[in-house]
Chains A and B, each alone.
Chain A
Amino acid sequence: MDPTRDTAETRDLRERARAFFHDNRPSDPGFKLPQTFLEVESEEQFLWLRAWQKQVYGAGLLGVEWPVAYGGKGMPSGSQRVVAEEMARAGVPFLVNRIGLDWAGPTILAVGTEEQKQRYLRNILSCDEVWCQGFSEPGAGSDLASLRTSAVRSGDHYVVNGHKVWTTQALWADFMILLARTDPSAPKHAGISYFLFPMKSKGVSVRPLVKMTGEGGFNQVLFEDVEVPASCLLAGEGDGWRLAVMTLAFERGASEGSATGGSLAAGGEVARLVALAKKVSRDGRPASEDAVMRDRIAELAIEEEALLASALRARVPGLVEERPLALPFLGKLVATEFGQKAAAVGQELEGPLAQYAFGAERAADGGHFQRAYMNSFGFTIGGGTSEIQRNLVGERILGLPKST
């Protein structure tokens, strides 16, 4: 009845996960780790994070809901979230192959051929193959369906030409989920196809971008007459938009089917704020004793509670059937905007110290919150901006007329 309580099965998994993350917490690598999977910028970071994911998978804690035949554990829905909660609780590093685990993987699982499932899924979990996403283009952001990268069929292969942008982890990726136009004469949504594209192909070049935090992570990817086998196509020609919408639903927080438990609302930021509030002082006392600061943090803690409750509701299959889009959209919209607010309050706690760049020796909490604040925009913009999310909720859930 009480959905916050474990069942016998999840209790066992939780205990195993808790023990594992306690006993195997990685030691400091001696270099700066990225805050999220969007900021992996160096090979040493990437290799270190890949080893960590391999270790988690080796312990039987990743892909637990995926079928055994594809490297998973075949456990019931909701199991992976238990692991995600324990990861958040232990504060261990994130899983680097996020795009494979949560976006590409579930899409392949849903619509791939048996051969494709066998070929790709296990290596996603083990991190032997890393994935990136080729959706956005310089001219196709919020209006994704206007994309112009082309894939022209020629015998038993396609020839790809075009330009993708905001491509996280493209520098290391083995594969890309690629949207390309296969039929330029069809209406814009109908002419798109979805490819499982090998990144190491001849004619692919990757150019890193630098973010306002000074970090890398995003890239541009250019395709010049790249030939890939026709078997790279997922589902049929022209099915690309339907599959893109499916992938975006996973990206926006649908937890069903994702390999990491879709942890947009896994929490942890409030605990970090409380810890900081105890360390910094205000009027000669710890900020945690200041009434105004306590109020600020309590409000965030309650909003975090509301997000967690929404995440619990998103797990109830009946509800997801009733309004399939509502909760994932809310998760993405609210969780990302929440992250921004929490980071802003973190900087208020720091006071003048908030002027330090992250990584500065004397910055409070290593400058975590100023870095999180700047990086939070990657989440309110990526995967469909908050404004596009609002358009979709308005039209599809509230049934409002299309805006003019």
Chain B
Amino acid sequence: MNFDLTPDQKLLESTAASFVKKESPVSRFRALREDPVGWSKSLWKTMAELGWIGLAFPESAGGLGGSFVDVAILLEQFGAGLLPEPYVPSVLAAGTAILRAGSAEQHEAYLAPLIAGDTSLALAWAERGGRYDPTWVETTATKKGDEYVLQGEKIFVQNGHAADVIVVSARTAGTPGDTDGISLFVLPRDTEGLRITPVNTMDGHKAAMITLAGAVVPGANRLGPEGAAAPVLDEIMDLGAAAACAEGLGVMRASLAMTVDYLKTREQFGVKIGTFQALQHRAVDMFIRAELAKGTSILASVKVSDPDPAERRFAVSAAKVELAICGRYVSQQSIQLHGGIGITDEHDIGLYFKRMHVLNALFGDEEHHLARFAAQPAF
């Protein structure tokens, strides 16, 4: 991560790198694949104590007032070690929803324990009919006196299986696809009528499918004015995509390093296979792709905080498309150059391959962002 990191950011980068190396080597993630939660509450607490959760929030909300670039520095290191703790769903997705739409009381109630590392959160926005459109909300919230009754289904809720509190988008007016009429609600996980079904994603992480069967939510649990949540969700989609790009940099860097290392050690025909020009050029093309994606990712991490949504979308969509193209190339070649051992579960390279695959599917895939990029007025 760079354009021009400050001394504080360089320190953050090296601290995070050595933390991941020491506390969360890939073997830890490998073991946690079998665990029903898939991440560790005590490590989450340590991350909070290091100030990493607070980094993403302004001081007015009890945070440390870092920038998204700071967060991206962390995420790149997390990606390099496949750290499974739910930073993006808790902090960037649900956390931003509460930060932007919530009141001071709601910040105190939900963000303070998150920043302290005592809770984790999730944001339930995706629905079966909507692909990557957060305004495709079929879930309804019907007002009954001081309460709302929620009815509907949400899919692939990241950290939904473990979150203490789930933020849910539901329609208080309008029809799927309308920008107006979407509201956000905070639901503790023991809310009656909230059914959480854990799902294992292909990369060894966990998520949840969620059903809302007449879940009753007090009016006080609504975040912000009724029906006005679309711009917040729009911003979160871009934050999530930029986060995937930052994490992807770490995944690509580790994949490339493992592959180059393999080329330098594996012998066939009596020589290191790294002496073969065909393989050297392939590795160089991996390097080129990783560097190109790095440029657009860094730019996205700067521009995602731009007050002008058009600037934000331009940079984020470009970066997410580049991540898809470059990440796919790097991870495909990393398996190919490892040869037979690369396709076994025993070797770590496959874990990186699968993470890259899921990163592409999170917060808009290549096709989604290419279409959004091409739809810009300037284009």
Contact = CB atoms under 8 A, between A and B. Distances in A.
Interface of A: 1-4, 274, 294-295, 297-299, 301-303, 305-310, 312-313, 316, 318-319, 326-327, 330, 333-334, 387, 390-391, 393-395, 397-404
Q: Is the interface of B mostly helix, strand, loop or mixed?
A: helix
A334 B3 contact: no
Contacts of A402: 275
Given A318-B2, A334-B288, A403 B276 contact: yes
A390 B322 contact: no
B370 A394 contact: no
In this complex, the member of A4, A319, A330, A394 whose beta carbon has the largest number of chain B beta carbons within 10 angstroms is A394
Given A298-B374, A302-B321, A306-B296, A399 B264 contact: yes
Q: Which 5 A-B pairs have the closest CB atoms?
A: A309-B295, A298-B374, A394-B280, A306-B292, A310-B295
Given A298-B374, A313-B2, A394 B281 contact: yes
B263 interface: yes
B206 interface: no
B267 to A, nearest CB: 11
Given A301-B379, A391-B280, A400-B263, A313 B298 contact: yes
B288 A309 contact: no
Given A294-B374, A334-B288, A334-B292, A400 B3 contact: no
A316 B374 CA distance: 30
B332 to A, nearest CB: 18
B374 A295 contact: yes
Given A390-B284, A398-B283, A326 B291 contact: yes
Interface in B266-302: 271-272, 274-277, 280-281, 283-285, 287-288, 291-296, 298-299, 302
Contact of B280 (A308, A318, A326, A400): A400
B379 A4 contact: no
Contact of B4 (A299, A309, A318): A318
B260 interface: yes
A403 B293 CA distance: 28
B303 interface: yes
Nearest to A319: B2
A93 B287 CA distance: 34
A294 B5 CA distance: 36
19 contacts: A1-B302, A3-B302, A294-B374, A295-B370, A297-B374, A298-B373, A302-B373, A305-B299, A306-B318, A307-B295, A308-B295, A312-B295, A318-B2, A330-B288, A330-B292, A393-B284, A397-B287, A401-B264, A403-B280
Interface string B243-257: 000000000000000
Given A309-B296, A394-B284, A398-B287, A403 B275 contact: yes
A290 to B, nearest CB: 11
A1 B293 CA distance: 20
A320 to B, nearest CB: 11
Contact of A393 (B275, B287, B294, B379): B287
B275 A313 contact: no
A241 B245 CA distance: 41
A400 B296 contact: no
A78 B283 CA distance: 31
Contacts of A394: 280-281, 283-284
A212 B379 CA distance: 34
B86 to A, nearest CB: 28
A400 B4 contact: no
Given A274-B379, A398-B287, A400-B283, A306 B276 contact: no
Interface residues of B, number: 43
Contacts of A333: 288
B2 A302 contact: no
A235 to B, nearest CB: 31
In this complex, the member of A295, A298, A326, A403 whose beta carbon has the largest number of chain B beta carbons within 10 angstroms is A298
Contacts of A393: 284, 287-288
Contacts of A400: 260, 263-264, 274-275, 280, 283
A394 B337 CA distance: 15
Contact of A309 (B260, B283, B298): B298
Contacts of A310: 291-292, 295
A340 to B, nearest CB: 15
Given A302-B373, A390-B285, A391-B277, 10 more contacts: A299-B370, A301-B379, A303-B322, A305-B299, A306-B293, A312-B299, A318-B4, A334-B288, A398-B287, A399-B260
A106 B188 CA distance: 65
Nearest to A2: B302
Nearest to B276: A403
Contacts of B303: 2, 4
Interface string B1-36: 011110000000000000000000000000000000
Contacts of B379: 274, 297-298, 301
A3 B2 CA distance: 11
Contacts of A399: 260, 264
Contacts of A2: 302-303, 306
A301 B287 contact: no
Contacts of B318: 301-302, 305-306
B298 A305 contact: no
Contacts of A274: 379
A400 B292 CA distance: 21
Contacts of B2: 313, 316, 318-319
B314 to A, nearest CB: 8
Contacts of B321: 298-299, 302
B277 A403 contact: yes
B194 to A, nearest CB: 40
Contacts of B276: 403
Contacts of B277: 391, 403
Contacts of A295: 370, 374
A308 B322 CA distance: 13
A305 B260 contact: no
A88 B83 CA distance: 44
Nearest to A274: B379
A306 B274 CA distance: 28
A329 to B, nearest CB: 9
Contacts of B298: 309, 313
